[in-house]
Amino acid sequence: MEVIHHLGILSAKRYVNENTGFLLTNKKGSYCSFFNVPSSRYQGLLYFDEKIMNMYKFVENIEIVGNNEVTSLKNGFYFAERRKNDIVESFFMPRNFNSLIYELSQNNEIEIFFDCKNAYDNREWGRYYEISEEDRCIVVKFTKKTDKRENSSDGLGEFELFLAIKSNGNSYQKNDEWVERQYIDDEKRNSPPYKRYVYNALRLNGTKFVFSMSKNKSEAIKECGHIFDNFEEIKTNEKKYFFDSIIGNKQVNNVIRNEGISKETKIAYINAVNSLNNLAVDGDNYGIFAGLPWFFQFWARDSLISLKALSKINEKLAQKIFFRYLNKISPDGRLPNLIGQHSSSALGNADAYGWLFFRCSESIEKINRSREVINSIKKSIIMIKQNKSAGSNRIKEYLKKCNSVINKKETGYHKIIYEIEASLEKSLSGLLKFHTKDGFEVNNKLETWMDTEFENDLREGARIEIQALRLNMYKLMFELTQNQKYKALENLLRNKVKERFWNSKILADGLNDFTIRPNIFIAAYIYPELLTNKEWEICFENALKSTWLEWGGLSTIDKSHPLFTEESTGEDVKSYHRGDSWFWVNNLTALILFKINKEKFNKNIQKIIQSSTEEILWKGCIGCHAELSSAKDLESGGCWNQAWSNAMFIEMLDGVLG
């Protein structure tokens, strides 16, 4: 099958031999994702209820009658196209509407398969569909009821969903048929159930279709009619939004114009920017999804790691998220693990607050640069006032406006720094009281980003990247307050970490644990002052010998370790943090290798760029940076579109390009 990334002169195409797909969002949580063949329960058209932060599946698949072999897939960035022999399908998911626009290049019949459910709910019984016509729309009503074959109760209604469909065709028929699907990707991921019955509900014809989702029937019908009646205008607006917000972005333009990187890497960068933007939700409940399809919550750690890259795309939203977390510091100094419904919501989080204040450091650096500009302007104003012509009313009015702008900016900066200082003081006070032992920051099991358990591999105690985050917090607090107490705490902890973690060859992953893991690169990214550049070089050389994968990534554990697992085991966590290669860590590693010694580590840097580019463009869900790969070979594994993978690819390329 041919995969195409279509963006004028930056277009690229390649034949691939795997089940690829695409993912579009409405920028408010809902998404559609279709692959060559249905291969996962999470594919289809899904609706995000912002009020309760829950995801519901509606459509399982759309199939062209008698013509379903995909011969090419085109990524248009704000739309997707698939060719099935002589017919082209087009998919648009307009911003801020819970709708899908679907078009065919010629009139044909299509069949609509439904699997209405809560995204995580795999119960088979108690699923009821009703199909009717209303206001020139086909209306599908789904009711979920309890069933005694799976529940303690029977026949109790749980929720209702409504899908309104409108087309330019003149007929439809009810199929009323249940068919069994086998989901090969879920089976590969060890994510049961691998089989499920879905409902073949409708056959209809036409070239132009709108599918609108809601929990309210009248809202679904109203939106469906509006989009159908304003079809072309809405599509034009999607195109304009993409070119204004993504291609018109200053940083994207810098990459496009840079002659030092390949065309494919430029396209991958644009895709990463677009995909991260698609994971950002800007409504009453705003934040960054950790990933789609199944991490549709706002995970604090993932959000804050991704925040720097998001700020280059949507600075206003990034600031809202930043201040939201500043106000969520708990009495023990930490942040909640996530916002949304998930089994891990009660799990402790040992690093999100550290990432928050690491991003604070970057914000203050930006403010300080702005202050330098302001001081320069102030000097210019003084010089203008000393000029004889400064007495004119026009110049006086100009200087008055300048002073007003400066005062407003300075007041804003004071407010930001005050909020950062107050939140940081609260956090450090709680951490010193509840999470500090012998000067080290300590965490319980499963509280770091490596939050899975296998054969007593728990990462509890004092961990290297957690110490780096605490060191950065002390450093920032001293810069803000000039209180020598924090400088003393920083110096004391830095010396203790170097004494206990550094053996002149490698940094320990934890106190008394010299297992080699890539967390040392995270530590260097956060607090490079821990070692000298020469010491970091030695550390990195030794770590790469144990974790480097020839395709261009890092294993999450020493390849000689008994727990190392070469092939990904999916939802069976055996390989998750004991072999699987995470793209966000790979991209971060390339960035820090570049900062420490770009000449010495050039081969590793280039290989990481190449492998991440390859995965974004040609594997899995095209145009999206996935969660991870098996250690054995480069592949697109885990979550199809992961926020911090995209974010770190953006940040890495920005850093390498300068």
> Phi and psi of 155, rounded to 5°?
80, 10
DSSP 375-413: HHHHHHHHHHHHSGGGGSHHHHHHHHHHHHHHHHHHHHH
Q: What percent of the residues of the chain are helix, what percent strand, and what percent coil, each to the nearest 5?
A: 45, 25, 30
Task: Assess contact for 333 and 427: CB atoms under 8 A.
Answer: yes
User: Which two structure tokens, joined as six digits, stand for 327?
Assistant: 């106000």
Distance CA 612, CA 622 (A): 12
Q: Is 455 left (phi over 0), alpha (psi -120 to 50) or beta?
A: left
Residue ranges in the chain modelled with pLDDT below 70:
340-341, 343-345, 371, 373-374, 380-386, 388-391, 395-396, 399, 658
Phi/psi for 49 (5° steps) reads -85, 105
Residue 161 contacts residue 57 (beta carbons within 8 Å): no
Q: With beta carbons less than 8 A apart as the criterion, state whether 511 and 500 touch.
A: yes
Please name which of 576, 568, 580, 442 lies closest in space to residue 513, comparing C-alpha atoms: 442
Please tell me the predicted confidence (pLDDT) of residue 26. Answer: 96
Contact 457, 563 (CB under 8 A): yes
What letter would DSSP give residue 580? P
Torsion of CA 473, 477, 483, 484, to 10 degrees: 30
For 370-380, write each residue's pLDDT tens digit: 767 667 777 76
SS3 state at 66: coil
DSSP class of residue 632 equals S
- Give the pLDDT of residue 389: 61
- Of the chain, the percentage scoring pLDDT greater than 70 comes to 96
Place of tokens 């199909």: 131
Helix (H) / strand (E) containing 550 = none
End-to-end CA distance of the chain: 37
pLDDT given for residue 401 in this prediction = 78
If we measure between CA atoms, which residue out of 440, 474, 563, 545 comes closest to residue 554? 545
- In sequence order, the β-bridge partners of residue 199 are 114, 178
- With helix as H, strand as E and coil as C, how does 84-149 read? ECCEEEEEECCCCCCEEEEEEEEEEEEEEEEEEEECCCCCCCCEEEEEEEECCEEEEEEEEECCCC
pLDDT at 107: 94
Measuring CA to CA, how many Å separate 41 from each of 45, 279, 343, 637?
11, 20, 19, 15
Alpha helices by DSSP H, 209-340: 217-229, 231-242, 250-257, 263-279, 300-311, 315-326
Span 255-302, pLDDT tens digits: 999 988 999 999 999 999 999 999 999 888 899 999 999 999 999 999
pTM: 0.94
**Number of Cα atoms under 13 Å in the Cβ half of residue 383:** 6
Token pair 């450093």 is found at: 475
